[in-house]
């Protein structure tokens, strides 16, 4: 099951400062969460995130997982152990579970509450690709293929659908009829032709005309 969490104003803590920690942190950068990345060393990419104020960096070496977890303030809503020390990751996750937060270990999917799928993001379109943790590399390959399938007129169609949906909610109270009209828009040749040319305004006019005809 793939779920898009609402993390606005939540606290995400990532322990680890290398390449893998950077990739995992990137998954949360646009979520609206307060992100802390904690490590004794940081890669250039992680440092750049800190410089850009996208995350807060805390440079420290963890000597005792339990003491470290108990000292965290604020307490995390999401906790990720992404170090190259398997034993440390294990201890961190075990202790973090006492916070009743969601936990993720880079090297122990059995203890993790979630996986981080490869996400194809083009405009407002987000498509998550997961191999169930079996092959992150293949998930990235599939994500790249999917990104190439989303066209500019697909993105314009999304804008058009959003505008017409807003109008329909005021004019058409039956949800089944609203759905029928929106699907007719998707298959309307005039609308599709306008969107292929990048003419959103023309597509809107055709959509409104279609709406008027359905209400007669």
pLDDT in tens, 14-41: 999 999 999 999 999 989 999 999 999 9
- CATH code (residue 43): 3.40.50.720
Which pLDDT value is given to residue 116? 86
Last residue of a domain, one of 150, 167, 193: 150
* Residues 53 and 71 placed together within one structural domain of the fold: yes
Average pLDDT of 196-213? 91
Decide if 174 is inside a domain.
Answer: yes
Domain assignment present for residue 125? The answer is yes
Q: What's the chain's average pLDDT?
A: 92
- Looking at residue 1, its pLDDT comes to 67
Q: How far apart are the first and last CA of the chain?
A: 43
State yes or no: cis peptide before 192, omega within 30 of 0.
no
Among 116, 140, 161, the domain boundary falls at 116
Model pLDDT for residues 128-182, shown as the tens digit of each residue: 888 887 888 898 899 999 999 999 999 999 999 999 999 998 888 889 989 999 9
Tell me what pLDDT residue 216 has. Answer: 64
Specify whether the CB–CB gap between 110 and 123 falls below 8 A.
no
Distance between CA atoms of 135 and 108, rounded to whole angstroms? 14
Q: Domain total for the chain?
A: 3
| pLDDT more than 70, % of the chain | 99
Q: Give me the CATH number covering residue 146.
A: 3.30.160
0.85 exceeded by pTM: no
67, 95, 116 — which closes off a domain? Answer: 116
Residues 33 and 101 in one domain: yes
- Same-domain pairing of 134 and 209: no
């Amino acid at each position: 099951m793939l779920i898009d969490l609402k993390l606005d104003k939540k606290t995400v803590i990532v322990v680890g400062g290398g390449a893998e920690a950077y990739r995992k942190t990137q998954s949360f950068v646009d979520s609206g969460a307060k992100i802390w990345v904690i490590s004794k060393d940081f890669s250039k990419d992680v440092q750049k995130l800190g410089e850009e104020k996208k995350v807060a960096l805390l440079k420290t070496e963890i000597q005792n997982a339990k003491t470290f977890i108990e000292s965290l303030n604020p307490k995390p809503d999401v906790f990720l152990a992404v170090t190259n020390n398997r034993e440390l990751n294990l201890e961190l996750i075990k202790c973090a579970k006492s916070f009743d937060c969601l936990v993720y270990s880079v090297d122990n999917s059995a203890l993790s509450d979630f996986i981080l799928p490869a996400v194809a993001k083009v405009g407002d379109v987000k498509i998550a690709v997961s191999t169930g943790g079996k092959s992150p590399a293949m998930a990235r390959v599939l994500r790249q293929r999917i990104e190439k399938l989303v066209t500019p007129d697909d993105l314009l169609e999304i804008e058009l659908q959003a505008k017409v949906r807003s109008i329909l909610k005021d004019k058409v109270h039956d949800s089944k009829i609203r759905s029928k009209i929106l699907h007719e828009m998707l298959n309307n040749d005039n609308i599709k032709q306008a969107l292929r040319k990048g003419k959103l305004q023309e597509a809107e006019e055709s959509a409104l005309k279609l709406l008027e005809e359905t209400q007669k």
